[in-house]
Amino acid sequence: MEQMTLTAPQACEETGIRRGLLEDLALKILYLNGEMTLPELSEHMCLGLGAIEEIFQFFRKQQLCEVRGMTRGAHRIAATAEGKLRAVDLLTLSQYAGSAPVSLSDYTARVHAQGVLQTQVQQDDVFRAFSSMVLDKELISRIGTAVVSNSSIFLYGPPGAGKTTLACYIPEIYNDKVWIPHAVEVDNQIIAVYDAGVHRRSNAVPEEEFDTRWVLCERPRVLAGGELCAEMLDLQYSAANRYYTAPLQMKANNGVLILDDFGRQRMRPDELLNRWMTPLDRRIDFLSLPGGKKFEIPFDLFVVFSTNLDPRELADEAFLRRIPNKIKVNHATPEEFQQILQNYCSARGIEWEPGVPEEAARFIREEMKQPLSQNLPKDLINQVTWAAAYQGESPRLTAEAIKLACRNYFLPVEN
Residue 340: count of CB within 10 angstroms of its CB: 22
Residue 415 lies in a domain: no
Q: Measuring CA to CA, which residue among 37, 28, 31 is closest to residue 99? A: 28
Using alpha carbons, select from 308, 304, 314, 305 the residue that is nearest to residue 329. Answer: 308
Angstrom CA distances, 340 to 18, 161, 203, stand at 57, 12, 31
If one compares 314 and 243, the residue with the highest pLDDT of the two is 243
Q: Give, in order, the Cα–Cα distances in Å from 89 to each of 28, 82, 227, 317.
A: 9, 11, 36, 53
Share of the chain above pLDDT 90, in %: 73
Whether 189 and 295 map to the same domain: the answer is: yes
Round the CA-based radius of gyration of the chain to a whole number and report it: 27
Long-range contacts of 268-272 (CB under 8 A, 24+ apart): 269/314, 269/315, 270/315, 271/230, 272/228, 272/230, 272/233
Q: Phi and psi at residue 98, in whole multiples of 5°?
A: -110, -145
Residue 207 pLDDT level (bands cut at 50, 70, 90)? low
Mean pLDDT in the chain? 91
Can you tell me the distance from the alpha carbon of 10 to that of 47, in angstroms, rounded to the nearest whole number? Answer: 7
Confidence of residue 226 (pLDDT cuts 50, 70, 90): confident
Per-residue pLDDT, 65: 96
Task: Tell me if 249 sits within 8 A of 299, measured CB to CB.
Answer: yes
The least confident of 19-23, 113-117, 317-321 is 317-321
Looking at residue 291, its pLDDT comes to 76
How many C-beta atoms surround the C-beta of residue 137 within 10 A? 8
Give percent of the chain with pLDDT exceeding 70: 98
Domain annotation covers residue 8: no
Q: At residue 3, does pLDDT exceed 50?
A: no
Distance between CA 410 and CA 136 in Å, rounded? Answer: 27
Looking at the structure, tell me whether residues 260 and 404 fall in a common domain. no
Q: Which domain holds residue 33?
A: 18-99
Judgement on whether residues 324 and 352 belong to the same structural domain of the protein: no
Whether 17 shows a pLDDT value over 60: the answer reads: yes
Section 285-310 average pLDDT: 90
* pTM score of the predicted model: 0.88
Contact residues for 109 (Cβ-Cβ < 8 A; gap 6+): none
Q: Residue 117 has what pLDDT?
A: 73
Q: Please check whether residue 352 lies inside any domain of the structure.
A: yes
CB 332 within 8 A of CB 372: yes
| Same structural domain, 289 and 377 | no
Q: Residue 375 belongs to a domain with what CATH number?
A: 1.10.8.60
Report if residue 5 sits inside a domain.
no
Please check the confidence at residue 1 and state whether its pLDDT lies above 50.
no
β 294-298/236-238 pair status: unpaired
Q: Which residue has the higher pLDDT, 157 or 309?
A: 157
- The count of structural domains within the chain is 3
CATH of the domain at 49: 1.10.10.10
Rounded CA separation 308/375 (Å): 14
SS3 call for 358: helix
Residue-level pLDDT at 275: 82
Write the CA distances from 128 to 3, 74, 81, 118, integer angstroms.
Answer: 21, 50, 60, 20
Within-domain flag for 177 = yes
Q: Which of residues 328, 359, 391 is at a domain's end?
A: 328
Residues 238 and 298 in one domain: yes
CA distance 8 to 52: 12
| Residue 1 counted as domain residue | no
Residue where a domain terminates, one of 46, 80, 99: 99
Instruction: Report the distance separating Cα 276 and Cα 278, nearest Å.
Output: 5
Query: Would you mind telling me the total number of residues written for the chain in this entry?
Result: 415
Cα 225 versus chain centre, distance? 13
From 98, 73, 102, 246, select the one nearest 181 (Cα to Cα). 102
297 by Cβ neighbours in 10 Å (0-12 / 13-18 / 19+) ranks as buried
Last residue of a domain, one of 81, 99, 117: 99
Q: How far is it, in rounded angstroms, from Cα 97 to Cα 87?
A: 11
- At 304-355, the pLDDT tens digits run 999 988 888 887 787 788 888 999 999 999 999 999 999 999 999 999 999 9
- The residue that leads in pLDDT, 318 or 15, is 15
